[in-house]
Amino acid sequence: MKELGRHILVEMYDCDPVVLNDEETISREMLRAAEVSGATIVGDVFHRFSPHGVSGCVVIAESHLSIHTWPEYRYAALDLFTCGENVDPWKAFKHLRKVLKAERSSQTEIKRGLFPLEEGQRLPFKPGK
C-alpha cells in the first residue's frame, strides 16, 4: 500500500503561554515550519481570540498545517498534513515543538489515501503532469 499523504496529529503540553498567545510569532513560525518541511506555501490565515488563544492555518500545495492554542492551559493542538514524497511533516513538528517550548508532546501519524500498487509502481501526486 502506498499513501497519498501523512497526517500528524499533535498535542503539545507545558508550552510557553506568551508564545501561545502571540499571533505574530505563531504566524511567522507556522510559515517557517512549512518552509523547513519542504512545502510550497499557497496562503495563510491566523486569528487571535479575546482574551487569549490563537488559531491559524497555512495552506500548502501539499495540504495544510494548522494550530489552535490555549495559553491558559499551556497547550496547543496541531494538524500537520502533507502529501507527496518531497515534504516531511516531521521537520515541521520538530521546528514547532522547539518554538512553542513544549516540555512534552504526543503525536500520531495517520497514512491518508492508501492505494494498492504493483511492485515498482509509483503513485502520481499530480496526475497528468
Task: Report the Cα–Cα distance between both ends of the chain, in Å, rounded.
Answer: 22
The yes-or-no answer on residue 37 being catalytic is no
Sign of CA dihedral 120, 111, 59, 24: negative
Q: What are the φ/ψ torsions at residue 14 (nearest 5 degrees)?
A: 55, 45
Contact, 95 vs 33, CB < 8 A? Answer: yes
The yes-or-no answer on residue 63 being catalytic is yes
- Closest to 27 measured CA to CA, from 48, 8, 7: 48
Bridge partner residues of 103 (DSSP): none
Q: Which one of the listed residues 55, 57, 66, 68 is annotated catalytic? A: 68
Q: Which one of the listed residues 83, 95, 105, 106 is annotated catalytic? A: 83
Q: Which one of the listed residues 27, 37, 63, 64 is annotated catalytic? A: 63
Q: Where in 1-129 does DSSP place strands (E)?
A: 2-13, 41-48, 54-60, 63-70, 75-83, 104-115
Which residues participate in catalysis according to the annotation?
63, 68, 83
